Amino acid sequence: MHVAKGWWSLGRIGLCLPYAWSGVSKLLDFPGAVAEQAHFGMVPPALYAAGVIVVQLGGCLAVLFCRGRWRAGGAIVLALFTIAATVIGHKYWTMAGMQRVHTLNSFLEHAGLVGGFVLIAAQALHRGGVGGDEEEEEEEEEE
């Protein structure tokens, strides 16, 4: 069971990496984060920038370091955030040509991230909300 546990951890790290990187980058360059939100028409941009940082870093912390409902909550928050950000930032339906192709590809890649977070939430809620971690440890002790 240790191998399976390691793969779940690696998967969670991989899913969270872009969000952690983005959140830290925005935190270190808050004026740039505000400008990004203004670019997408978010008003007031500073409030949205702060919210994005909290969601990205808080969601990552929950997915990476919590269990059960907290991990599932972090995964769902990041999934919902990704849906909103993708619809706002990757409007392929307003484009033509190669720009449309590239933007649609990015849109679909983000849909894949949402799917990954849904799987993380489902795994975390498996068997009564403990994420399967305690059951794995109990099964190992019984052997």
What is the per-residue pLDDT for 143? Answer: 44
What b-and-e string marks burial along 5-35, b requiring 16 or more CB atoms within 10 Å of the CB? eeebeeebeebbeebbebbeebeeeeeebbe
Residue-level pLDDT at 3:
62
Look-up: residue for tokens 């307003």? 94
User: What pLDDT score does 106 carry?
Assistant: 97
Residues of the chain with pLDDT under 50: 1, 129-132, 134-143
Tell me the DSSP string of 25-77.
HHHHTHHHHHHHHHHTT-SSHHHHHHHHHHHHHHHHHHHHH--HHHHHHHHHH
Looking at residue 141, its pLDDT comes to 46
pLDDT attached to residue 2? 61
- In the numeric block, which tokens belong to residue 81? 């955030």
